[in-house]
Amino acid sequence: MSRSLEVEVGPTCISSGYCRNFAPAVFEAGADRKSFVKTNPVTETPALLEAFESCPVEAITARDADSGAEVFP
């Protein structure tokens, strides 16, 4: 069973675009070209987890939407 996650992109984002490439349904680029999350919560998927891992500056954080437990990093 997939869980719901509250995902956030922090201010350390350097706009590499990897997260948007792996999970375009979740991440989008703002006017400053930095990534942001389109809507929360999101469903955990293998592509989303790959997006988390792909961030070169670890700007993405995620918490379980139900329990608040840290999921990533």
Write down the pLDDT at residue 70: 97
Q: Sorting pLDDT into bands at 50, 70 and 90, what band is 1?
A: low
CA dist 15 and 27 (Å) reads 11
Residue 46 forms part of a structural domain: yes
Range of the domain at 28: 4-65
Q: Are strands 70-72 and 60-64 parallel, antiparallel or unpaired?
A: antiparallel
Residue 43 forms part of a structural domain: yes
Domain count, the chain: 1
Residue 24 forms part of a structural domain: yes
Kindly report, residue by residue over 19-33, the tens digit of the pLDDT.
999 999 999 999 999
Write down the pLDDT at residue 2: 83
What percentage of the chain has pLDDT greater than the value 70? 99
Q: Give the CATH number, domain containing residue 31.
A: 3.30.70.20
Residue 72 forms part of a structural domain: no
Q: Sorting pLDDT into bands at 50, 70 and 90, what band is 46?
A: very high
Mean per-residue pLDDT of the chain? 96
